[in-house]
Amino acid sequence: MESIVIERTDDKPRIILDKKRNLFLFEGVSMCEDVTTFYKPVIDWLNNYYLHNPNPNTIVKFKLMYFNTASSKMILNVLLCFDELCKKGHDVHVEWYYQPDDNDMEDAGKFYSSRLSIAWKMIKDDTMDL
């Protein structure tokens, strides 16, 4: 299964989906204008991962500094893909990183975790930076 690597820009997050290295990372800022087009290959890849022999243990790292309202729905869609994997009996963990003074990102992580079956870890990280 080919990996996806999307490099970070001023308005798009860095995304790495690498089954072989067991690396699932979302990092940076997500405020692109056309979030549906941007996240479509990510969702497609995750659906393929789900259907074709996913790793026994999947750890997903979210190190987002900011995301807009449109991106929040797509992030939820991404998380729902992992949630389906979890519901099928696979071991899935999310690590949600946020800066200690970023109440909005902390609240977003708590909101998402309350709606999903995934094991969730909130991680304060003062080293995160744009």
Answer whether residue 125 shows pLDDT above 60.
yes
| 36-62 mean pLDDT | 95
pTM: 0.94
| 72-77 mean pLDDT | 96
Answer whether residue 66 shows pLDDT above 80.
yes
- Residue 116: predicted pLDDT: 95
Answer whether residue 130 shows pLDDT above 60.
no
- Residue 129: predicted pLDDT: 66
95 φ, ψ (degrees, to nearest 5)? -110, 115
Answer whether residue 89 shows pLDDT above 80.
yes
* Cβ-based neighbours of 8, under 8 Å, separated by 6 or more: 14, 27, 28, 29
Tell whether domain 4-124 is in CATH 3.30.750: yes
- Residue 126: predicted pLDDT: 86
- Residue 128: predicted pLDDT: 76
Answer whether residue 74 shows pLDDT above 70.
yes
